[in-house]
């Protein structure tokens, strides 16, 4: 499939299409080939307007910290808001709940166990343990037996005046009035499964709350500020989303195209990445050994 003999001879190249296009007046003014390029551009625009600090330490984030933050979370607003619609919870409230869950959840993936950092141990004797464990898919199970219920209760009830966190018939239930809408959330297998992609993304973040120009902001609120800086940024899901002239200018023109030379190692990594992406939820295929036969 990858023509290994030609690769070994250094004769195989791939044209690298852009992943994003920044539009102005209906025309593309800049292309970006990956998240990092977008993040560097946004970092320059963001730091002209905002000072970003770690909420807990007060330390100002470095340029590399900001680029990493933006690169990891470019799709976070869309993902959180879409998930909020599915579970019928306000996005900000959902984020506050899932930040705690992402800290305390334990995932069992096939035979490999991955445990997220747990901040505290509490007694869960009053909580139905079946509520705190379940399946995300056929390969991934989860447990929240170490959920820091006390921290979750204190944070939510302090931030949201009309919210209460209770144990109802052995289940963790969050209910009350948030942003003029009645909310009721039962933390259980269906809820965790629906929110898994957000939990997975949150677990990748070193920080989830920040100080922005002296005001406390959550990750969602920071990325909303980023979105306002890029109102006309379009993510290409495939080359078919580009007009013919855009495809020529960005990918095919010898004057501006970016070519990537394949090596046996890069072909191997590409195959591994494809397998990881196709199975990202279970992550079973991470670390696979790809042979020369796979490349052929």
Express each pLDDT in 123-148 by its tens digit: 455 788 888 888 887 777 888 878 88
What secondary structure letter does DSSP report for 249? I
Task: State whether 168 and 89 are in the same domain.
Answer: yes
pTM above 0.85, yes or no: no
Q: Is 15 helix (H, G, I), strand (E, B) or coil?
A: strand
Whether residues 80 and 193 share a domain: the answer is: yes
Do 84 and 137 have their domain in common?
yes
Are 221 and 197 found together in one domain? no
Domain count, the chain: 3
Cα–Cα distance for residue pair 229/46, rounded to 1 Å: 7
- pLDDT grade, residue 252 (50/70/90)? confident
Q: Which domain holds residue 66?
A: 17-73+205-257
The helix/strand count (H/E) of the chain reads as 12, 15
Strand 52-54 and strand 162-168: the pairing is unpaired
Q: Residue 274, CB half-sphere, CA atoms under 13 Å: how many?
A: 9
Clarify whether residues 52 and 1 are in a common domain: no
Residues 206-224: pLDDT tens digits? 999 999 999 999 999 999 9
Higher per-residue confidence, 184 vs 9: 184
pLDDT in tens, 7-50: 888 888 877 777 788 887 878 877 888 888 888 988 999 999 99
User: Quick one: tokens of 109?
Assistant: 């993936």
Question: Within this chain, do residues 114 and 165 fall inside the same structural domain, yes or no?
Answer: yes
Average pLDDT along the chain: 81
Same domain, 200 and 105: yes
Calculate the alpha carbon distances from 71 to 40, 42, 98, 228 in Å: 9, 10, 20, 16
Q: Where are the beta strands (DSSP E) in the chain?
A: 13-15, 20-24, 27-32, 52-54, 106-109, 112-115, 133-135, 140-143, 162-168, 171-178, 181-187, 209-212, 215-218, 233-235, 259-261
CA-closest candidate to residue 204, choices 121, 270, 132, 114 = 114
Cα distance between residue 90 and residue 66, in whole Å: 26
Report the distance separating Cα 262 and Cα 7, nearest Å.
6
Mean pLDDT of 55-69: 93
Quote the pLDDT of residue 233.
81
Beta bridge partners, 22, equal 30, 233
Could you tell me if 143 and 81 lie in one domain?
Answer: yes
| CATH assignment at residue 60 | 3.30.300
Distance CA 75, CA 207 (A): 17
Name residue, tokens 């190692």: 265
Do 55 and 89 fall into the same domain?
no
Residues 214 and 116 in one domain: no
Mean pLDDT over 41-65 rounds to: 93
Q: Are 95 and 205 in contact (CB under 8 A)?
A: no
């Amino acid at each position: 499939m990858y023509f290994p003999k030609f690769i070994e001879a250094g004769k195989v190249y791939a044209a690298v299409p852009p992943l994003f296009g920044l539009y102005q007046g209906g025309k593309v003014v800049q292309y970006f080939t990956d998240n990092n390029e977008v993040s560097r551009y946004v970092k320059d625009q963001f730091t002209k307007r905002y000072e970003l600090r770690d909420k807990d330490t007060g330390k100002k984030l470095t340029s590399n910290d900001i680029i990493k933050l933006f690169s990891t979370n470019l799709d976070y607003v869309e993902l959180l808001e879409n998930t909020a619609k599915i579970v019928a919870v306000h996005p900000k409230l959902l984020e506050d709940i899932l930040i705690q869950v992402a800290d305390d959840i334990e995932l069992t993936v096939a035979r490999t166990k991955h445990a997220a950092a747990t901040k505290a141990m509490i007694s869960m004797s009053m909580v139905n343990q079946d509520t705190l464990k379940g399946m995300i898919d056929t390969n991934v199970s989860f447990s929240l037996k170490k959920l820091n219920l006390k921290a979750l209760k204190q944070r939510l009830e302090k931030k949201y005046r009309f919210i209460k966190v209770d144990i109802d018939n052995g289940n963790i239930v969050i209910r009350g009035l948030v942003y003029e809408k009645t909310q009721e959330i039962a933390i259980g297998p269906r809820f965790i499964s629906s929110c898994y992609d957000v939990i997975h993304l949150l677990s990748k973040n070193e920080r989830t709350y920040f100080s922005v120009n002296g005001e406390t902001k959550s990750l969602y609120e920071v990325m909303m500020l980023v979105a306002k800086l890029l109102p006309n940024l379009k993510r290409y899901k495939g080359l078919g989303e580009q007009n013919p002239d855009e495809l020529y200018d960005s990918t095919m023109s010898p004057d501006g195209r970016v070519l990537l030379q394949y090596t046996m190692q890069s072909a191997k990594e590409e195959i591994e990445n494809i397998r990881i992406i196709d199975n990202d939820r279970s992550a079973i295929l991470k670390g696979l050994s790809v042979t020369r036969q796979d490349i052929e």
